[in-house]
A and B are shown apart, each in its own frame.
Chain A
Amino acid sequence: MPYADLREFLRALEKAGQLLRITDEVMPEPDLGAAARAANNLGDRSPALLFDNIHGYRDATVALNVIGSWPNHALMMGLPADTPVKEQFFAFAERYRAFPVAPERRGAAPWQEVGVRHGINLFELLPLFRLNRHDGGFYIDKACVVTRDPDDPGDFGRQNVGIYRLQVKGPDVLGIQPVPQHDAGLHLRLAEERGENLPIAIAVGTEPVIGVVAGMPLAYDQSEYEMAGAIQGAPYSITAAPLTGLDVPWGAEVVLEGEVLAGRRELEGPFGEFTGHYTGGRRLPVVKIHQVSMRPRPIFEQLYLGMPWTELDHMVGINTCVPLYEQLKADFPEIEAVNAMYTHGLVAIISTRRRYGGFAKAVGLRALTTPHGLAYCKVVIVVDETVDPFNLPQVMWALSTKFHPGRDTVRVPGLSVTPLDPGSEPPGVTDKLILDATTPVAPDVRGHHGHQVHDPAETARWEAFLKERIA
């Protein structure tokens, strides 16, 4: 830690037994998408997949499921592969507090070796393929998309790095989905208000930390590069892209540069989304690519997504929990941990001590008004501090035994939610629910919770002993 680039991380995964090379010939469709889906279906310890023998291609390499499991997420953070999820959460939270760490600007980057400015054809330059059977085309869906605030282009913190779905619609044309709540959506709105195109840089195939940070719900003026430095514990290496001057990861495989065209919207999609449903049938902004810079024989990294769990759920799991945890803990020091890993936090679980009766419901309501809660947190389950929110059997036990449907349900009508939530009606509006599964405390005295069974003495010692013997 830190990893210089995707290749170094793939070597670390292979050393840890978390990379599977597929050298048999595969079809671009359906094999690549199917293999990534299958890896996710096998559980939460699956390896990254590296394909180098794809029918019809010469010299093409495709990487999938790179952070698609908890061991790979731990290795992304430089932790041992078997680090439990809750420990990864607390390690991430500790590093989050080190923000900001200034980036390191570096000169010549490996992706500058090959440059294409004329006759750009992304279908020929990259081994693009269809992920899910009803996707409207071939997508680039794990690239770091970089834009600046058109009203303040010199503000480094307002430069945004995000991951947005990109449909390759023509040899040098992309469709992009910048949700208005996200920073690129704001940048585009400002550019269109000015009547200007929005310069854009797209980095494909990066070391893993920036991809995870790009999917974090950060404040508008918080730099993803300064956060990546905090998470990896060392300054993040960036290089100015040659055409736009936008800062991109030094270690990228491929960098595309161009403009989002002001005032243009064209049909995009559908695309199988992280909600497990296709979305599309709308007219979205259009990107014109003017320059491609890349390594010789670049690795094309792509992400499978669909019904959870997929690689996406691992990428936006802990990185979503931590900002929520820090924001809630700033108001309520009683918060123990937050698990907002279900469909990017549409369902969230908070464990907390109770200050007095009714406190847990207030904590749940506060989650709805955090920046991420404005678009997520449709259902918030609150549990005691002794319940591990990452341990779903324990959470189900709390719901089974602590929760009284008539007394512990708070329903708030007509709140905002991501329009991608298929249950929202109209899209972007939903009722939200707090389920208080904590033990009632005074003055909310009720139920029969006085005699809970606790672990026998020495259980923790036996856990450690058995773990060592079993391993």
Chain B
Amino acid sequence: MTAATTTCPRCRCDQARTVAASPVPGCWTVHSCPACSYTWRSTEPPEATDPERFPSAFTIDTDTISTLAEFPAIPARRGDG
């Protein structure tokens, strides 16, 4: 579907895409953030959809994502060392 963009309530990336619309037209849309993968439906409460109301304990600073632990760790390829 058309990739209209909006602001991610969790990391505030402004490139979140609309990934689905309700099969019954006009009921809701689903959005997904390419930066932090947060996904939400338009009919959820503001704590899940509004950057101003999103709980601070669950917000993400996109600058820190690359520093987060890999789980499980990526092993060395055979023959590489």
Contact = CB atoms under 8 A, between A and B. Distances in A.
Interface stretch (A50-58, A68-76, A243-251): A50-58
Contact of A124 (B20, B36, B43, B55): B20
A336 B72 CA distance: 38
Contacts of B40: 130, 137
The size bracket of the interface on A is: 35 or more
A175 B37 CA distance: 9
Contact of B70 (A28, A128, A168, A265): A265
Contacts of B43: 27-29, 55-56
B68 A282 contact: yes
B25 to A, nearest CB: 9
A268 interface: yes
Interface in A186-225: 188-189, 192-195
B71 A137 contact: no
B75 A192 contact: yes
Contacts of A28: 28, 41, 43
A60 B1 CA distance: 20
Contacts of A129: 41
A133 B41 CA distance: 12
A134 interface: yes
Contacts of B72: 178-180, 185, 188-189, 285
A9 B20 CA distance: 32
Given A28-B43, A29-B41, A136-B39, A192 B19 contact: no
Nearest to B18: A123
Contacts of A171: 19-20
Contacts of A281: 68
Contacts of B60: 267
**B interface majority secondary structure:** loop
A121 interface: yes
Interface string B9-50: 010000000011011100110101010111111011001100
A282 B32 CA distance: 18
A433 B22 CA distance: 52
A206 to B, nearest CB: 25
Interface string A103-131: 00000000000000000010110001110
A138 interface: yes
Given A170-B32, A267-B37, A130 B48 contact: yes
Nearest to B76: A193
A133 B70 CA distance: 25
A136 B55 CA distance: 12
Given A56-B23, A123-B20, A124-B20, A266 B37 contact: yes
Nearest to B39: A137
Contacts of A134: 55, 58
A193 B79 CA distance: 9
A418 interface: no
Nearest to B24: A56
B16 to A, nearest CB: 12
Contacts of B27: 55-56
A270 interface: yes
A281 B58 CA distance: 10
A48 to B, nearest CB: 24
A92 to B, nearest CB: 31
Interface in A262-282: 263, 265-268, 270, 281-282
B24 A169 contact: no
Given A28-B43, A283-B65, A193 B23 contact: no
Closest 5 CB pairs of A and B: A56-B27, A56-B22, A137-B39, A123-B20, A169-B37
11 contacts: A29-B41, A29-B44, A56-B27, A58-B24, A121-B20, A136-B37, A168-B39, A171-B19, A267-B68, A283-B68, A283-B71
Interface of A: 27-30, 55-60, 121, 123-124, 128-130, 133-134, 136-138, 167-171, 175, 177-180, 185, 188-189, 192-195, 263, 265-268, 270, 281-285
Given A56-B24, A266-B37, A281-B68, 9 more contacts: A27-B43, A56-B22, A57-B22, A57-B23, A121-B20, A133-B48, A138-B30, A194-B77, A263-B74
